[in-house]
Amino acid sequence: MELINDFQVSVRKAFDEIDSNWESYKGLVVCGTHSPKNVEGIIEKIREARETGKPFLGICSGMQIAIVEYARNVLNLNGANTQEIEQNPLYPVVVKMPLLRIGMKEVEYEKGVYRFESHWHNYCFNPMYEKAFRNTPEEHFGGFDIIFTKDIINIAEIMKIREGNSFFTLVQFHPEYQSSKEKPHPILVEFITKCKKYGR
């Protein structure tokens, strides 16, 4: 298992509480960070995971970097970037919000099913590109299912590539903060389960 970016401590703790052998499984997690580094290298690792079907989880800024990867390599939006890295990219698929978004926010996982999740972010998926991400050609598994929360603006909380990949999920919140040994977070449990099946 490979974990990238700064905010790993809580992710590792949550994984330990789910499966003590998790480090031996194959998967990629891009965690949150306030100081993105080596973004182009991370984009390449995400591309490889997506194309090979290796389980991938993008958390907070990890989600945003994965959005840039998909925009460039699947949607052919050359010049796509996040405004955290480039102030005026040709295709601003991740944009700065009017306000820093902090605290527990309600996320609707499916109709009528909600969880409160922990947030700390100043950037988000640009909803102007929703149609493009949802309607990707079938050779790329038909694009993303996207769950939005209406807040400062429409915030994409969860983005999942549809059938075809073993696991490729992006979350704007921090599921690791809401996970415990007694109540492990379902997204983390699903990810570890897929990694275990994918192999060591």
CB–CB of 140/74 below 8 Å? yes
Cβ atoms of residues 157 and 171 within 8 Å = yes
* 60 is a catalytic site residue: yes
Beta-carbon contacts of 40 under 8 Å, excluding residues fewer than 6 positions away, are none
Q: Which of 119, 121, 140, 174 is catalytic?
A: 174
User: Domain range for residue 175?
Assistant: 2-198
Q: Which residues contact 161 (CB under 8 A, 6 or more apart)?
A: 50, 140, 141, 143, 144, 168, 169
Q: Say what the pLDDT of residue 166 is.
A: 75
Catalytic residue among 60, 84, 124, 185: 60
Concerning whether 121 is annotated as a catalytic residue, the answer is no
pLDDT digits (tens, 9 = 90+) for 112-123: 889 999 999 999
**CA end-to-end distance (rounded Å), the chain:** 9
- In the chain, the number of structural domains is 1
pLDDT digits (tens, 9 = 90+) for 47-98: 999 999 999 999 999 999 999 999 999 999 999 999 999 999 999 999 999 9
**Confidence (pTM):** 0.94
Confidence band for 175, pLDDT divided at 50, 70 and 90: very high
Is the predicted pLDDT of residue 160 greater than 90, yes or no?
yes
Tell me the mean pLDDT in the region 173-179: 96
Task: Please identify which of the residues 69, 84, 117, 176 carries the catalytic annotation.
Answer: 176
The CATH number given to whatever domain includes residue 111 is 3.40.50.880
Asked if 174 is an active-site residue, the reply is yes
**Distance (Å, whole) CA 106 – CA 192:** 24
